[in-house]
C-alpha cells in the first residue's frame, strides 16, 4: 500500500513539448524563465495592487466620511450600492484583464523562443 | 412540512444522479477522470465556494450587523482575483495535486509536507463545522427535527458520495449544484423584490410572528414591546415577579425582562421588539462602522485580509484546478469563478435587508442563519411560499453536501499518505475529516455559520498562503523558512479560532477581544515575516531543484523541456 498516490506529470496533448528551449534533460536555463517570471510578476503585482487599493481604500473612505453613507442613489444608500454592485464589477474587470495580459505574455514568450 | 423536506431532499439527490459512476481506481479517487472545461469547472468551484456560510449565513450576518458585513462577500470574490493573479496557473503547472504535494515537491521536505497537511486538516475541520451547523438549522427550521439530525444527514451524504467515487463523482454534483443554488436564491429574490415593490409597508401592515415554538433568552435586562397579546411560558423574572415555567397571558404593551429570563413563545405569537433591535435599526444598521462594535475599522481590515489571502489556502478550491488540462485553462477557470461569485455577492445584502423587515425576531433568537429559510413564508404566505421555501432548502442542502464533499475529498487527499496511502488510507482520512467536526459541533457556541467560516479563512491565510505565494514567486524560500512560517502563523490563528468557536462569543473586550475574533491582521504579517526572515537566515538550505521548479511552474506547458520534475 505504499504506492504514491499523487497524480503528476504531463497529461494530454498540451503537455507535450513543441520545442526544447534548453539543453539537456536535467538542467534548465534559468535566464528566459526569469524574464517571463518578471513580466508575469509585474502583471500579478499590478492586479494585487488594484485589489489592495479598492479593498483597502473603501473602508477608510467610509470611515473618514460618514456623510457618504447618507447619500442615496436610486433609493439605495451609497455604501450598499458601491459594495454590492460596483465592486464586484471591478473584480470581474480586473480578473479579465489579468487573464488577457498573462496569456499575451505567454504567447509573446513562446514566439520569442521560437524565433531564437 | 415533512413532505416539503422530502421534496427538497429528492431534488437534491436527483442533482447528484448523473455523477454516480463505476467504482474507482486509486488515482480516480483524487482526480476527475476527464479533463473538465473551464466553464464547467468554474461552476464546480463556485458551487463549492458558495457554501452554507454564503448561502444562509451571510444574509443572517447582514440582518444582524448591517453594512459592516457587506465586506465579507467583497473579500470572498477578491480572494479569487488574488488567487488567479498569484497562484492558479503556476500551481496547475507544478503538477502537484494537493497543497501538501506542492509543498513537498517545491521544497523537497517531508517535514514541511507534514506541517502543511496538518494545516489542511485543521482548515478542513473549521470549514466543515459551519456546514454541519447550517444543515442542522435548515432541517430544524423546515421540519422541526432536532439540529443534530441535520449534522448526521449531511455526514451520511458525504460519506456515501465520497467513499466510492472521489472527485470524479463530485465534479458534476458541484457544477449542477452551483446552478441549483443560484436558482434557489435568484428566483426567491425576484419574487421578493416584486412583492416588496407592491407592498412597501409590508413590515408595518403585518406584524411578524413566530413560525415555530421559540425560546428567547434575554441576555441583558431589557424592555420588550408586545404588539399583540400572547400566551408565554416564563422562566425567570418578568415585570418584577419571579416565574418558573408557568404560562402567562401577556397583554399587549411594554413589559420588563431581567437578564437571563427565558420566554417561550408558542407558534403564531407576535414577536416582541426589544430596545436592542430598536437601537440597531435605521441609520446605524445601514451605515458602515456605526454598528457599535469595538475597533470596527481594524476588524474590517482583518476580515478582508483573511478572506482575500485565505481563499488560496482552502484545499478544496486549489484541488479543483487540477481538473483543468493546463495552466492556461486553469487561469481562465479562475477568471470565470470571479464572474460567478460577483453575481452571487449581490444576494446577502438583499436577503439581509428583507430579513430586517420580515424576520426581526431572529435578532432575539440568534438563529440568524434561518433568515433565508423563513423569508418565503413571511413575504408570500401560502403555496408560493411553500414552494419557495422548498427551493431555498434544496439549495441549502445542495450547498452543505457539495461543500462538505469538496472539503472532505481535498483534506483526505492531502492527509491520506500519512495514513498509509492507497484506497484504505483515503477512506480512513475521510472518516477522520468528518468525525472531528461532528464531535466539535455540539460544543460550538457561535451560532452564525458565516462567522465560523471566517475562522477557516484566517488559518488558511496565516499558514498556507505564505508557503504558496513565496513558493511560487520567491527563489530563496527554504524548508526551514516555510516550516517556521506555517507554525508561527498557523498556531496563533488556530488557537484564536478555537477560542472563538468554543468560547463565549459575547462582546469582545478591547483590543484583545477584537484580535481573538479577527486575528488575521496580526497572524498573516507574522507568518510572512517569519517565513522570509528564516529563509534569508538559512541560504544554504535553498533546494537544489528550485530553478527547475520555477521553470516548470512558470513556463507554458508546450515550452517545457521534458525531463525529471
Residue B297's nearest CA partner among A76, A30, A63 is A63
C-alpha cell at A47: 492586479
Which residues from chain B sit within 8 angstroms of residue A35, using beta carbons?
none
pLDDT (0 to 100) of residue B460: 93
Judged by CB atoms closer than 8 Å, whether chains meet at A5 and B27 is answered as yes
**Cβ pair B318, B312 in contact under 8 A:** yes
Nearest to B326 among A8, A14, A92 (CB): A14
Judged by CB atoms closer than 8 Å, whether chains meet at B349 and A83 is answered as yes
Classified as helix, coil or strand, B224 is: strand
User: Rounded CA gap, B81 and B113, in Å?
Assistant: 26
User: Rounded CA gap, B400 and B133, in Å?
Assistant: 10
Which residues from chain A sit within 8 angstroms of residue B345, using beta carbons?
84, 88
Judged by CB atoms closer than 8 Å, whether chains meet at B70 and A79 is answered as yes
Cross-strand bridge partners of residue B216? B263
**Could you tell me which residues come within 8 angstroms of residue B313 by beta carbon, excluding any fewer than 6 positions away?**
B99, B119, B123, B459, B460, B461, B463, B464, B465, B468
User: Rounded CA gap, B314 and B320, in Å?
Assistant: 11
Selected residue of A82, A88, A100 to mutate for chain B interface (largest B Cβ count, 10 A): A88
Class of the CATH-defined domain B2-199+282-559: mainly alpha
Which residues from chain A sit within 8 angstroms of residue B548, using beta carbons?
27-28
pLDDT (0 to 100) of residue B261: 79
Q: Across chain B, how many H-helices and E-strands are there? A: 26, 7
User: Rounded CA gap, B102 and B88, in Å?
Assistant: 12
pTM of the model: 0.81
| Radius of gyration for the alpha carbons in chain B, expressed in angstroms and rounded | 24
User: Rounded CA gap, B377 and B536, in Å?
Assistant: 60
Residue of chain A nearest B101, judged by CA positions: A6
Residue of chain B nearest A89, judged by CA positions: B342
Judged by CB atoms closer than 8 Å, whether chains meet at B81 and A62 is answered as no
**Cβ pair B296, B289 in contact under 8 A:** yes
Residue B67, min C-alpha distance to chain A (Å): 7
- The interface predicted TM-score of the complex, written ipTM, equals 0.80
| pLDDT higher than 90, residue A102 | yes
Selected residue of B559, B560, B563, B565 to mutate for chain A interface (largest A Cβ count, 10 A): B559
pLDDT in tens, B110-148: 899 999 999 999 999 888 888 888 888 777 777 767 778
Domain ranges across chain B: 2-199+282-559, 209-270
Nearest to A12 among B289, B325, B561 (CB): B325
User: Rounded CA gap, B93 and A36, in Å?
Assistant: 15
Strands (E), B251-394: 253-257, 262-265, 273-274
pLDDT (0 to 100) of residue B532: 94
Residue B100's nearest CA partner among B434, B463, B433, B436 is B463
pLDDT (0 to 100) of residue A16: 38
User: Rounded CA gap, A48 and B262, in Å?
Assistant: 50
| SS3 readout for B274-307 | EHHHHHHCCHHHHCCCCCCCCCHHHHHHHHHHHH
Strands (E), B80-198: none
Q: How far, rounded to the nearest angstrom, does the alpha carbon of residue B66 sit from its chain's CA centroid?
A: 18
Judged by CB atoms closer than 8 Å, whether chains meet at B558 and A14 is answered as yes
User: Rounded CA gap, B459 and B427, in Å?
Assistant: 25
Judged by CB atoms closer than 8 Å, whether chains meet at B74 and A33 is answered as no
User: Rounded CA gap, B273 and B413, in Å?
Assistant: 49
Residue B74, min C-alpha distance to chain A (Å): 7
Domain ranges across chain A: 30-110
User: Rounded CA gap, B104 and B89, in Å?
Assistant: 18
Low-confidence spans in chain B with pLDDT less than 70: 1-35, 51-52, 144, 164-174, 194-214, 217-223, 225, 227, 268, 270-271, 273-286, 289-294, 360-367, 421, 445-448, 504-509, 560-565
Classified as helix, coil or strand, B264 is: strand
On whether any CB of chain B is under 8 Å from the CB of A67, the answer is no
Residue B57's nearest CA partner among B431, B351, B289 is B351
Which residues from chain A sit within 8 angstroms of residue B555, using beta carbons?
21, 33, 36, 109
Amino acid at each position: 500500500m505504499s504506492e504514491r498516490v499523487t497524480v503528476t506529470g504531463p497529461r494530454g496533448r498540451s503537455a507535450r513539448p513543441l520545442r526544447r528551449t534548453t539543453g539537456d534533460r536535467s538542467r534548465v536555463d534559468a535566464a528566459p524563465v526569469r524574464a517571463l517570471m518578471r513580466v508575469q510578476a509585474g502583471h500579478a503585482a499590478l492586479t494585487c495592487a488594484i485589489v489592495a487599493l479598492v479593498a483597502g481604500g473603501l473602508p477608510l473612505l467610509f470611515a473618514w466620511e460618514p456623510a457618504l453613507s447618507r447619500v442615496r442613489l436610486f433609493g439605495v444608500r451609497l455604501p450598499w450600492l458601491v459594495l454590492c454592485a460596483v465592486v464586484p464589477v471591478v473584480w470581474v474587470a480586473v480578473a479579465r484583464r489579468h487573464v488577457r495580459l498573462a496569456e499575451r505574455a505567454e504567447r509573446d514568450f513562446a514566439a520569442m523562443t521560437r524565433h531564437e | 412540512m415533512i413532505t416539503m423536506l422530502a421534496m427538497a431532499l429528492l431534488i437534491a439527490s436527483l442533482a447528484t444522479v448523473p455523477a454516480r459512476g463505476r467504482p474507482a481506481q486509486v488515482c480516480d479517487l483524487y482526480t476527475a477522470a476527464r479533463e473538465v472545461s473551464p466553464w464547467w469547472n468554474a461552476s464546480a468551484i463556485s458551487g463549492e465556494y458558495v457554501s452554507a456560510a454564503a448561502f444562509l449565513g451571510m444574509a443572517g450576518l447582514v440582518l444582524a450587523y448591517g453594512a459592516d458585513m457587506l465586506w465579507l462577500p467583497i473579500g470572498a470574490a477578491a480572494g479569487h482575483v488574488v488567487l488567479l493573479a498569484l497562484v492558479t496557473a503556476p500551481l496547475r503547472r507544478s503538477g502537484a495535486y494537493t497543497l501538501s504535494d506542492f509543498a513537498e515537491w517545491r521544497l523537497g521536505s517531508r517535514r514541511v509536507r507534514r506541517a502543511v497537511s496538518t494545516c489542511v486538516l485543521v482548515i478542513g475541520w473549521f470549514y466543515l463545522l459551519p456546514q454541519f451547523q447550517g444543515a442542522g438549522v435548515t432541517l430544524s427550521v423546515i421540519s422541526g427535527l432536532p439540529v443534530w439530525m441535520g449534522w448526521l444527514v449531511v455526514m451520511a451524504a458525504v460519506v456515501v458520495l465520497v467513499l466510492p467515487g472521489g472527485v470524479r463523482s463530485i465534479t458534476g454534483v458541484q457544477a449542477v449544484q452551483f446552478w441549483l443554488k443560484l436558482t434557489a436564491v435568484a428566483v426567491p429574490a425576484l419574487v421578493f423584490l416584486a412583492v416588496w415593490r407592491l407592498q412597501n409597508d409590508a413590515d408595518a401592515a403585518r406584524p411578524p410572528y413566530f413560525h415555530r415554538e421559540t425560546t428567547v433568552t434575554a441576555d441583558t435586562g431589557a424592555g420588550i414591546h408586545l404588539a399583540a397579546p400572547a400566551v408565554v411560558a416564563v422562566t425567570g423574572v418578568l415585570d418584577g415577579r419571579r416565574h418558573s415555567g408557568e404560562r402567562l397571558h401577556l397583554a399587549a404593551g411594554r413589559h420588563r425582562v431581567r437578564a437571563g429570563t427565558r420566554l417561550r413563545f408558542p407558534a403564531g405569537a407576535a414577536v416582541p421588539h426589544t430596545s436592542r433591535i430598536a437601537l440597531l435599526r435605521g441609520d446605524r444598521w445601514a451605515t458602515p462602522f456605526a454598528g457599535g462594535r469595538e475597533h470596527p475599522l481594524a476588524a474590517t481590515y482583518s476580515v478582508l485580509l483573511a478572506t482575500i489571502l485565505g481563499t488560496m489556502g482552502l484545499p478544496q478550491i486549489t484541488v479543483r484546478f487540477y481538473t483543468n488540462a493546463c495552466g492556461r485553462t486553469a487561469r481562465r477557470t479562475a477568471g470565470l469563478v470571479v464572474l460567478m461569485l460577483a453575481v452571487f455577492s449581490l444576494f446577502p445584502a438583499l436577503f439581509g435587508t428583507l430579513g430586517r423587515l420580515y424576520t426581526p425576531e431572529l435578532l432575539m433568537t440568534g438563529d440568524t442563519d434561518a433568515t433565508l429559510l423563513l423569508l418565503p413564508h413571511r413575504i408570500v404566505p401560502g403555496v408560493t411560499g411553500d414552494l419557495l421555501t422548498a427551493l431555498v432548502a434544496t439549495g441549502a442542502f445542495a450547498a452543505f453536501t457539495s461543500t462538505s464533499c469538496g472539503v472532505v475529498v481535498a483534506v483526505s487527499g492531502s492527509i491520506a499518505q500519512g495514513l498509509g496511502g492507497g484506497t484504505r488510507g483515503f477512506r480512513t482520512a475521510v472518516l477522520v475529516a468528518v468525525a472531528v467536526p461532528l464531535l466539535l459541533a455540539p460544543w460550538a457556541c457561535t451560532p452564525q455559520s458565516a462567522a465560523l467560516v471566517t475562522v477557516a479563512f484566517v488559518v488558511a491565510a496565516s499558514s498556507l498562503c505564505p508557503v504558496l505565494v513565496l513558493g511560487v514567486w520567491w527563489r530563496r524560500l527554504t524548508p526551514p523558512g516555510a516550516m517556521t512560517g506555517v507554525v508561527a502563523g498557523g498556531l496563533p490563528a488556530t488557537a484564536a479560532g478555537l477560542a472563538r468557536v468554543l468560547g463565549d462569543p459575547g462582546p469582545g473586550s478591547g483590543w484583545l477581544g477584537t484580535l481573538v475574533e479577527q486575528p488575521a491582521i496580526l497572524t498573516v504579517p507574522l507568518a510572512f515575516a517569519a517565513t522570509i526572515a528564516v529563509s534569508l537566515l538559512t541560504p544554504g538550505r535553498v533546494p537544489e531543484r528550485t530553478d527547475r521548479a520555477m521553470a516548470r511552474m512558470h513556463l507554458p506547458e508546450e515550452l517545457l523541456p521534458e525531463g525529471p520534475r
